[in-house]
Amino acid sequence: MIAEIGHFALILATGVALYQFLVPLYAAQRGDRALMRTGLTASVLQLALIATAFAALTHAYLVSDFSVQNVFENSHSAKPLLYKISGVWGNHEGSMVLWVLILALYGAAVAIFGENLPLELRSRVVAIQGSIGLAFLLFIVLTSNPFMRIEPPPIEGNGLNPILQDPALAFHPPFLYAGYVGLSIAFAFAVAALIDGRVDAAWARWVRPWTLAAWVFLTIGIAMGSWWAYYELGWGGWWFWDPVENASFMPWLVATALIHSAIVVEKRNALKIWTVLLSILAFSLSLMGTFLVRSGVLTSVHAFAVDPERGLFILIILCIFIGGSLALFAWRAPMMKAGGLFAPVSREGSLVMNNLLLCVACLAVFVGTLYPLALETLSGEKISVGPPYFNLTFGPIILPLLLLVPIGPFLAWKRGDAATALRRLWISLAVAVAVGLVVLALNIRGPWLAPFGMALAAWLVLGALTDLASRIALFKAPLATSWHRIIGLPRSAIGGILAHGGLGVMIAGIIAISLWKIEVIVALKPGEAADVGGYSITFIGETPLTGPNFTGRAGRFLVKEGDREVATLVSEKREFQPSGMPTTEVGLHQTLAGDIYVVMGDATNDGGRAIRMYFNPLVNFIWLGTFIMFLGGLLSLSDRRYRVGAPKRHVAAQAVPAE
Amino acid sequence: MIWIVFALMTAAVIAVLVLPVVRARPQAPDLDRNAFDRAVFRDQLAELERDVERGTIGAAEADAARNEISRRLIAASAMPAKSHPARTPFLALLAALIIPAVALPLYLRAGSPLLPDVPLATRLEKAAETGDYEALIVKVEQHLALNPDDVEGWKVLAPAYRRGMRWADTAEAMRNVVRLSAPDAGILADYGEAMVMANQGLVSAEAHDVFAKALALDAKLPKARFFDALALKQEGKAAEAKAAFDAFLAETPSDAPWRPMLVAEMQDMSSKPPGIDEQAMKDAASMSQEDQQAMIRSMVDGLEEKLKADGSDLDGWLRLIRARGVLGEGGKAKLAYDTAKTRFKDNPQAIAALDGLAKEMNIQ
C-alpha cells in the first residue's frame, strides 16, 4: 500500500502543481490577496506530496519491494544500504523524482521565507515554479513513472549499474540537481518581473542569494563528478569535455556571470534587464542539461536510458519554457526602466566585462557540445569534438577574464581608475612574473605554456590576498586593528576573495596536470618494477577478492622513492553480480605534490598484467581550489545582508528621510 | 481501504487550500508594494555608508550614489492602498477541484490500487503459508548459504531448479547432494543428467565419469545406461555405443517410457540433429535411409529458416550448428556459427556456449 500511496501522492502533486500555476497568476492579476495566499500554500503542499512520493519510493528500495518495476530494474537485495538509497536516483525515473523534489523544496522556500517580498511578486514566482513542476511531473507520470508495478513480482532485482556504486557518485546527482534546479528560482523571479513589468528592489536581494546557493551546489556537484571520473574511470584524466560534463558546466558559467551581475543590480540598481535575461539563460541551460542527459541523445560514460519518447517530451518542455520566456522578454523588456549609470572603467564595468567573457566562453562550449549533435541529426555524420577544440576556443576567451579577475575588486564603483588599481597590485604582479621566470628557468625546453600558466595562477592567488590585505589595511595599521577589521568584513567580501583565490589554486592544478603529467604503460609480472616520475613501483602480485555483490582480483603495488617505501597501493578489477559487469578500482596515493595513480589492466599471456601508471603533479589543487571556491560561496551566502526583514507596518507610515 | 486513504489525502489537500479563504476576515489594508522597495533602499544607503567607511567608493561617487538611491527612495513613496476585491471562497473551491479532476484519471490510468507491497523480507517470511514457490527456493538458498552441508536442503532445491529448467543450478545442487550422500546410483545418474542438460545435451567427460560410477553401483540403472551409451556415441565410439544401446534395448520392457527416446537415438547413430521432436523421430524410424536423410535435411533447413526470421533462440542456433556438423556440412555449420556469434556478441555466456560447441565440432 505504501507504494500506491506514493504513486497517488505524486499524481496528486501534479494536480496541485496545476493549481499552483494557474490560481496565483490569476489572483495576482485581480489583486485578490486571499487567493494569492492559497498559491503559497499550494507550493508547500506540493513539497509535502512529492516528499511523500519520494519517501515511498525510497522505502520500496530499502525493503527490496520488487513488485515496483523501478526497484526490480535498478536494485538488488544484496546491495549495500548506501547504494540501495542512492539507487533511488541512480536511474532515470527516480532521478526525475529527485529533480521535482528539489524544485518543490525551492518553491516552498520562496513561499515560506519570502516575507520580505511583495505578495504579488511572491505569488507570481510561486506560479512559475508551479508551471515548471507541472511540466516535469507530467513528464514523470506519463513517460517515466517509477511506481509502475509488476504482478507477480520477481524474487530478485537486476542491480544498480556497478559503475554508479561509488560514494562520490551517490551524492553527485543530488548536488548537481540542487544546482540546476536552484537556477529555476532566478528564472521564476525573472519571468515574474517580466509579467509584472517592474523589477522590485527586493528582486535583486532575492535573485543573488538563490543564484549563489545554486552556484555553490553546482560547483560542488561538478567537482564531485570530476573527482569520480578521475579515480573511478581509471583513465587518469579529470575532465573530458564530455557532453554530460559540459551540460553542467554551461549553467555554471552563466550562473557565475549571474552572481556577478546580480551584485550590480543589488548595490547599484543597474544592469537589471541584462540580469533578467541572464537568469532566463541560466535556467534554460539547466533545462538543456537535463534534456541532454535525460533524453539519451548522448551516448557517453554516463550509463543512462535511451528513449525517444522521453526525449521528445523534454524537448517540448524545453521549447515551451525557453521559447516562452525569451518571447516574454522580447515583449516586456523594452518597457522596463533602465537603472543607474556608470563609466566603462569602474566596478560595474569590470563586472560587465566578466559577464561578457563568461557568456562568450559558454557560447564556445555550447557550440562544441551541440554542433556534433546537430550535424549528426542533419547529415547523419558522426564527429567528435574533443579537447583540442575547447583548448583553442574556450582557452583564449577565458584567459583575459582570468587576467582581469584580481583587478576588478580594486576598481571603485561608478568611476574607477585602472592605473590606481594596478599600482595597488604591483607586488602581486611582480611576484607572479617572478614565478613565471622561475618556472621558465626550470623548464627551459618547454612546455612553453607552463611559465605563463603558473604566473597566472600566482597572480590570481596573490591578487586575492592583496584584496584581503588592503581591506584590512594590513601592515598599514597595527595588527590588532587589521584583525579587528577581518572580523568586521562582510562575509560576502571574504567569500569573494576565497572564490577568486580558489580559482587560482585550481588553475595551478590544471596547468600542472595538463603539462607535466607522466604516463607509463608496461606489462609487469609479479616482482617486476617500473619507474614513474621519480618513484619505483613494484608489482607485488594479485589476490582474489570478494565483496558484498562482486568478486574480483586485487593487484598490490609497492611504491618506493629511492630506498624509502612510500605506499602500498591496491588496484582492483571487480566483476559485479548479477550483471557480470567489470569495473576497475584505481590504486591511488595522494599527496599535495601529486598523485601516484596505478591501474591494473588485463592479464597478459605470460602471467603478467598490463599496468598503467601515472604521476599527476599538483592534481589535488584542482579539487582543493574548487573546494575553496565552494567555501567562499557558502560564506557569502551566510552574509547578514541577505537577512533583511520584511518591512514593518509602522515603517510605511514613516516619513521619507530628507536629503 | 486504499481508496479511503486516497480520498482523505485529496480532501486534506483541498481543505488546506480552501479553508483559509473561506475563513478569511476582511483584512486591514496591506502594506503598499513600494514599502518593500523603501526597505531595500534604506538598506542600500546603510551599505553605502559602510562602503565609504571602508574606502571602496570615492567621496564624489558616494555622494552621487547617495543622491541616486535617495531619488529612488522618494520615487517609491507610499501608494494609495488598493481596495481588495470581495472574498472568493467559491472560486477557490472551484479551482481546488481541478486537483482531483487531474489526479483521478491519471491515477486510474497508471495505478494498481489493489496490489499490496511485497517487501522481500516479508515475502520470504510468509513463503510457506502463501505457497510462494520462488520465495521458498530463495529461503532454502539462504539457509544453504549458511549451512552448505545440509543435504536435505540440496535435495529440496535440485528438483525445484529442475522444474524451473535452471540446469546449471540443478547440476550444482545435485553435485552437493552427491557430495553429502552415501554413494547411490540414482543420485549419481540424476547429477549426470543435470550436467548433460546444462551442457545442451552434450555428455562431457566429467559427466561420463559420473554415469560410469553410477553403473558401477547399479549396472542395470536405465538412466545411467542410456547416457553412458549416448556418451560413447558422442565420443565417436560407434561400435561400443551400438553394443551398449543394443544391450540396453534388449532389457527394456516394451512399455518403458524411455523406450521411444532410446529407439530414436539408435536410429540416428550416424546422423541426427539432436533435439528434434520425438514424433518426427518415430516417423523417421520407419523410413528408408535416403528418406530419413532427406527428412532430416528438411527439418534442419526449416530450423535455419526459423532462425533467420527470429535469431534470438540460442538453443536453436546450437542445434543447427550441431546438426550441420553431424550432417557433414562443415561450411554451413561454420556459417551458422559465425551468424550466431555476431547475433550474440553482447552475451558472453552465449559466446562461450557457441565456442565450446565449435571446438567440439571442429569448426574454426
| Structural domain of A238 | 168-412
Burial code of A511-527, b = ≥16 C-beta within 10 A, e = fewer?
A: bbbbbbbbeeebbbeee
The pair phi, psi for residue B181, each rounded to 5°, is: -110, 160
Confidence grade of residue A301 (pLDDT, cut at 50, 70, 90): very low
Q: What is the mean pLDDT of residues A13-32?
A: 92
- pLDDT band at residue B84 under the 50/70/90 scheme: low
Bigger pLDDT: A314 vs A656: A314
CA–CA distance from A367 to each of A31, A248, A393, A451, B80 (Å)? 44, 15, 10, 30, 51
A199/A299 same-domain check: yes
Q: Which of A145-159, A451-465, A521-535 is modeled with the greatest confidence?
A: A451-465
Q: Is residue B207 a contact partner of residue B196, using CB atoms and an 8 Å limit?
A: yes
For A611-636, b/e burial (b = at least 16 CB within 10 A) is: bbbbbbbbbbbbbbbbbbbbbbbbbb
User: What CA–CA distance (Å, rounded) separates B174 from B183?
Assistant: 13
A151 vs B contacts (CB less than 8 Å):
112, 115
Q: Band of the pLDDT at A158, cuts 50, 70, 90?
A: confident
* 8 Å CB contact of B54 and A471: yes
Q: Tell me how many domains chain A contains.
A: 4
Q: Are B67 and A641 in contact (CB under 8 A)?
A: no
pLDDT at A540 over 50: yes
pLDDT recorded at residue B281: 55
- In 3-state terms chain B splits into helix, strand, coil percentages (rounded to 5) of 75, 0, 25
Q: Is residue A201 located within the same domain as residue A342? A: yes
pLDDT of residue B272: 45
- List, for residues A603-648, the tens digit of each pLDDT value: 888 878 888 899 998 989 999 999 999 999 999 988 766 555 555 5
A403 located within any domain: yes
CA–CA–CA angle A143, A145, A151 (5° rounding): 120
pLDDT at A484 over 60: yes
Could you tell me the CA-to-CA distances from A151 to A61, A148, A621, B10 in Å, in that order? 17, 10, 53, 27
Task: Check: CB of residue A411 under 8 Å from CB of residue A418.
Answer: yes
Identify which has the larger pLDDT, A267 or B209: B209
- Judged by a CB distance cut-off of 8 A, whether residue A523 touches chain B is no
Query: Is residue B73 pLDDT above 90, yes or no?
Result: no
Residue B277 pLDDT more than 60? no
Q: Do B39 and A18 lie within an 8 Å CB cutoff? A: no
pLDDT: is A38 or B40 the higher one? A38
Percent of chain B with pLDDT over 90: 7
Residue with the larger pLDDT of the pair A288 and A162: A288
All cell numbers assigned to A183: 537556477
Last residue of a domain, one of A128, A148, A165: A165
Identify the structural domains of chain B with CATH numbers, from first to last: 2-110 (no CATH), 285-364 (1.25.40)
Same domain, A141 and A232: no
Q: Is residue A127 part of a domain?
A: yes
Angle at A84 between CA A82 and CA A88, to 5 degrees: 110
pLDDT of residue A447: 80
Residue A492 lies in a domain: yes
Q: Which residues contact A340 (CB under 8 A, 6 or more apart)?
A: A268, A269, A270, A414, B65, B68
Which residue did the predictor score with more confidence, B360 or A649? B360
d(CA A199, CA A288): 26
To the nearest whole number, what is the mean pLDDT of chain A? 86
Chain A CB contacts of B4 below 8 Å: none
Instruction: Tell me if A651 is assigned to some domain.
Output: no
For testing the chain B interface, which of A20, A26, A36, A38 should be mutated: the one with the most B CBs within 10 Å? Answer: A38
Q: What is the identity of the amino acid at A73? A: E
Per the CB < 8 Å rule, is B115 touching A120?
Answer: no
pLDDT band at A76 (very low <50, low <70, confident <90, very high): confident
Residue A464 or A314, more confident: A464
User: A311 and A215 in one domain?
Assistant: yes
Q: Which residues of A touch B78 (CB under 8 A)?
A: 652
Q: Are A9 and A141 in the same domain?
A: yes
β pairing state of A587-591 and A594-603: antiparallel
In this predicted structure, the answer to whether residue B125 has a pLDDT above a threshold of 50 is yes
**Of A80-94, A407-421, B68-82, minimum mean pLDDT range:** B68-82
Band (pLDDT 50/70/90 cuts) for residue A456 is: very high
Q: Is position A478 within any domain?
A: yes
pLDDT computed for residue B106 by the predictor: 93
* A98: closest CA of chain B, how far (Å): 20
Interchain pair A32, B84: CB under 8 A:
yes
Q: Is the pLDDT of residue A654 over 50?
A: no
Cα dist from B358 to A343, A377, A479, B308, whole Å: 81, 42, 84, 20
Residues A396 and A467 grouped into a single domain:
no
Give yes or no for residue B249 having a pLDDT over 50.
yes
Task: State whether A116 and A260 are in the same domain.
Answer: no
Pick from A257, A256, A274, A275: which is nearest to A205 by CA?
A275
Q: To the nearest whole angstrom, how far is the Cα of A199 from the nearest Cα of chain B? A: 10
Give the three-class secondary structure for A384: coil
Q: Do B47 and A641 count as a contact with CB atoms less than 8 A apart?
A: yes
Q: What pLDDT does residue A130 have?
A: 95
- Contact A106/A185 with Cβ under 8 angstroms? yes
For residues A449 and A531, membership in a common domain is answered with no
Query: What band does A503 get if pLDDT is binned at 50, 70 and 90?
Result: very high
Closest CA to A526 of A505, A554, A485: A554
> What pLDDT, on a 0 to 100 scale, did the predictor assign at position B289?
62
Kindly list the distances between the CA atom of residue A207 and the CA atoms of A191, A259, A354, A490, in Å, as whole numbers in the listed order: 12, 8, 18, 19
Residue that is last in its domain, among A138, A165, A192: A165
A148 touches B: beta carbon within 8 Å = yes
Q: Could you tell me if A266 and A329 lie in one domain?
A: yes
What is the per-residue DSSP string for A405-449? TTTGGGSPSSS--HHHHHHHTHHHHHHHHHHHHHHHHHTTT--TH
Kindly identify which residue of chain A lies nearest to residue B54, measuring between CA atoms: A471
Lookup: cell for A581: 559487469
Query: In Å, how far are A63, A78, B139, B163 from B135, measured between CA atoms?
Result: 15, 15, 6, 15
SS3 A589: strand
Residue A4 within any structural domain of the chain: yes
* Low-confidence winner among A10-24, A165-179, A567-581, A631-645 (lowest mean pLDDT): A631-645
Interface test with B, best of A5, A7, A12 (most B CBs within 10 A): A12
Q: Are residues A134 and A204 in the same domain?
A: no
Residue A306 above 70 pLDDT?
Answer: no
Whether residues A210 and A344 fall in one domain:
yes
- Are A246 and A137 within one domain? no
pLDDT of A108: 94
Residue in chain A lying closest to B87 (CA): A34
Q: Does residue A634 belong to any structural domain of this protein?
A: no
Confidence of residue A32 (pLDDT cuts 50, 70, 90): confident
Question: Would you say B155 and B163 are in contact if contact means Cβ atoms under 8 Å apart?
Answer: no
A172 located within any domain: yes
Given A381, A412, A443, the domain boundary residue is: A412
Residue of A5, A14, A18, A19 to mutate, testing the B interface (most B Cβ within 10 Å of its Cβ): A19
Separation CA A217–CA A600 (nearest Å)? 34
What pLDDT was estimated at residue B271? Answer: 47
CB–CB contact A15 B137 (8 Å): no
Confidence grade of residue B76 (pLDDT, cut at 50, 70, 90): confident
